[in-house]
Structures are given as C-alpha cells and as structure tokens.
Amino acid sequence: MNTPTLIGLLCLPFAVQTAPAIDAQATLRPKLQLTTSEEDGMVEVGKSVFFEAEVENRSKEKLVATLEWSFKTVADLPAPPEKTSIEIEPHGVQTFGFELPFKKPGFAMVSCEVMVDGSGQEIVKSIRVGAGAAKVESELTRERDFKKFWKRTLSDLKKVDPEFECEPRDNPAEAPCDLYEVSMRSLGGVLVRGWLEVPKGPGPFPTLLRVPGYTQNMQPIGISADSIIFSFNIRAHGNSTDDVPGSPVDYWLRGLDDKQEYFYRGAYMDCVRAVDYLCSRDDVDQNQIGIWGGSQGGGMSFATAALDQRIDYCVADIPWLGSWETYFALTREEGDEMEEWLAAKEGRNFEDMLKTLSYFDTVNLADRIKCPTYMGVGLQDSICPPAISFGVFNRVPGPKKFRISPKAGHGLGDDHLTWVLGELRKLGGRR
C-alpha cells in the first residue's frame, strides 16, 4: 500500500543644536525579562507554575515604579498578586516572582507590567502557560434545529449540479506530478476552483485536500511524487472569486444576520463539494482521503471531517472557527471589527450574533468526527488561543493526537510538519 507523502501547506540629517543635550543614559527604559519554571509551559493539574520578573534599571537615576501582574484567561484561577511599588538603584537589578496554582485544567496568558512613576513609561511582557490541555472544555451551544439545519444544507448542496471541469496546466518537466486546474459549482451555484497535482505513476493514490487560512491563496506545491494533492480555494479565496469577491476582507461578518446567508455555510459546503470531486476520481484511494488546514483552514478541516464521513484523517492546525464564546472572552476589544459590525445596524446584538455563529461553531460539530484527527497549536498564539482549539478537539470522539509548541504563536514551523507527516506515515502503515 502506498504511504502518504503529504507536505502541507501552508536615516538622520545634520541639524543645528538649539537645546541642551539630553543624557540618554539617564532616561533609558528599564529592561524587563519574564521567565517561568516550566520550559514547555505546561504543568499537570494540581501543580503550580512559578513566574520570575527580572527588572534592570539601566539609567543613572533611581528607578521608582509600580509592578503589576495580570491574567487573560477563562480558567478558574486565583486572583493575581496586588500591585507592588518598587525602587531600584542606578544600574541595579531586582527579581520579583509569584506562584500560580492550576487546580483545574486551563490556560492563562500571564502579563507583568512595569509602570515608571512620573514618566508614563510602561513595559509589558507576557507568557501563556497551561495545565491539563486534554481536559479543557468549551460548552456546547447547539440550537434545537442544529442537526436539521445541516441536514437541509447538505441536501441543498446535492441539488447543485457540480459541473466538474479539470483542465491541464503547464508544469515544469522535472516535476513529479501533472498539474490541473479544477473548477466546480458549490452551494448557491457558486464557482470554486483548486489546483490538482497527480503523480505520474500508477494509482490509486492517497489524497490530501488542502484548505486555506483566512485570505490565503492556495497554490500548487509541486513536489508530490506519490500522493494526490488538491490545493483548494473556497469562495472569495485565490482563484475562486468569480461569484464571491475576495474584497473587502470581511468573510466572517458576511451574512451574519441570517444563518442561511452566513459566509461559512457556503464555505463549509465548498469543502464538501471538493470531497465530492475527489471521490469521483478513479485514481483517488477512497480509503485514504485526508484534509489539512491551518487557522481558518484548521476550523474548516474540523467542519469537513464532521460533515463528511468520507474524510479518512483530519489535520487541524492552530484552528479557528470554534468555541466562539471562549474566543470572544479572550480576544474581544472595544472598537474591534466585530464591535463595528454590531454598531453598524440597528437591532443587532451580541446574543443574536452568537446564536448565528453557534450553527457554524466547530465545538458543536466535533462529536461527528470519527476519523483519526491531529492538531497542532502554538502555546503563545494570541490570534487563535489554545483554549478555543482544545475546546473543540477534546470533543472529538475518534482517535486523536495533539502537539503543543511552547514558544510558537500563530504558526508552527517545519518541526511540526515533520511530526504530522510521521504520524500520517504510521497511520498509512497500519492500513
């Protein structure tokens, strides 16, 4: 049997001196370093993480300041220490620490802020830590007609003639695969496209459906010698903008007043239609169809694996589109994009918006995912905080594995890719 080889993926002019020179050494900002006792940022539930803030006074004057700890979390944690007044002699260094016990599973972004008296200077450092990732939960928010909604939506997609077309495109002669541009009709008759790479040898082949992050233009990868790779662009992305424009970049707000018109109703169905196409091909191994995406693509990987049981393995990295209530609790700020959308039309409110989003929240879809599932998260990710990812992942009932990159943010790097490929090869070897 073929074993998958799956590569995812994703100046100063002279001036006359007119004022006394300022002693820059005397006004240097303090230096703040924040470290923890846990190199990987995670502890077992019931244990503590120790934080140490080192403050260096780099000026010739005494530093008089206030040091304050704060948390951004939805976990059940004790209150942070109270503000501390500090004084540090010129060129001196002091350390300040505290212990944070994790009695229950959860994550916390811990910040230390030094506010210099009288100067307005503020220096902030932050580190996220956590405990018991495999037990982190997000509440279900399914409405009573949730299952009927998706049953009707899938039925509506089936009524659309897919009009599959597969056109050869130029590919370097040394490339190990042939290249095609594939087009099809999805929900609402929307035209969507992707790039299909087919190895030159005999099939059938393991097949990977790559789905895009927010605004990402999926392109061929050009190096697949023994797997079919379908780099697919949902509506409004890449080469799928004929019927749904890619600009303005407001996809997550489009149609949000009505679940029937919401952007992700069509986007999720675009992915299912892409699976329809792959299943129509004789050279696709129907027992080895995988889906892989990051960020928005990670959320769509979850959603597609939930809505289409033809998916045989799912890789969802730094996933978005799930655990919306937790997401807003951790990321919502005054004047942000969602706040502007709510204020733009009379009658809109946060509760109704959450109700619409609940139909597309992957936390409500996760218990349908039966295939092997893999997830990578960046512990320091502020765009898709790990609490939202694990809130979905931990509801997946099928076999699953996760990997936390302790220093990574919204991107995981080549070592994560190596890990995922290794796991998929193990899976291929068992079939």
Reported as a single tens digit per residue, the pLDDT across 4-44 is: 333 332 222 223 333 444 444 445 889 999 999 999 999 99
pLDDT-based confidence at 415, cuts 50/70/90? confident
Whether residue 269 has pLDDT greater than 80:
yes
- Shortest CA distance to 391 belongs to which of 357, 367, 413, 427? 367
CA distance 207 to 5: 9
Cα atoms in the 13 Å half-sphere on the side-chain side of 232:
34
CA distance 218 to 380: 26
Sequence-distant (6+) residues with CB within 8 A of 362 are 299, 302, 303, 306, 319, 321, 322, 323, 392
pLDDT-based confidence at 318, cuts 50/70/90? very high
Residue 267's pLDDT is what? 98
Residue 64's pLDDT is what? 95
254 vs 421: which has the higher pLDDT:
254
For the CA atoms of 331, 332, 336, 341, the dihedral, rounded to the nearest 10 degrees, stands at 120
Mean pLDDT over 182-201 rounds to 96
pLDDT-based confidence at 242, cuts 50/70/90? very high
Whether residue 377 has pLDDT greater than 60:
yes
Whether residue 223 has pLDDT greater than 70:
yes
Mean pLDDT over 261-270 rounds to 98
Residue 428's pLDDT is what? 65
Residue 429's pLDDT is what? 53
Question: Hey, CA dihedral for 89, 90, 91, 96, is it positive or negative?
Answer: positive
pLDDT-based confidence at 418, cuts 50/70/90? confident
422 vs 402: which has the higher pLDDT:
402
Provide the mean pLDDT of the chain.
91
Is residue 153 within 8 Å of 187, Cβ to Cβ?
yes
Whether residue 430 has pLDDT greater than 80:
no
Sequence-distant (6+) residues with CB within 8 A of 337 are 250, 253
CA distance 112 to 71: 9
Residue 29's pLDDT is what? 86
Residue 192's pLDDT is what? 98
Whether residue 353 has pLDDT greater than 80:
yes
CA distance 111 to 198: 49
Whether residue 156 has pLDDT greater than 70:
yes
Residue 2's pLDDT is what? 36
**pTM of the model as a whole:** 0.91
Residue 5's pLDDT is what? 34
Reported as a single tens digit per residue, the pLDDT across 86-131 is: 999 999 999 999 999 999 999 999 999 999 998 888 999 999 999 9
Q: How many CB atoms lie within 10 A of CB 227?
A: 24
Whether residue 260 has pLDDT greater than 60:
yes
Domains of the chain: 25-135 (2.60.40.10), 146-330+339-430 (3.40.50.1820)
Residue 334's pLDDT is what? 76
Mean pLDDT over 226-244 rounds to 96
Across the beta sheet with 31-36, the strand order is 31-36, 48-56, 93-101
Paired residues of 291 in beta bridges: 209, 314
Residue 27's pLDDT is what? 59
63-72 and 31-36 beta bridge pairing: unpaired
Is residue 365 within 8 Å of 302, Cβ to Cβ?
yes
Is residue 323 within 8 Å of 392, Cβ to Cβ?
yes
Reported as a single tens digit per residue, the pLDDT across 290-312 is: 999 999 999 999 999 999 999 99
Reported as a single tens digit per residue, the pLDDT across 41-95 is: 999 999 999 999 999 999 999 999 999 999 999 999 999 999 999 999 999 999 9
Residue 147's pLDDT is what? 98
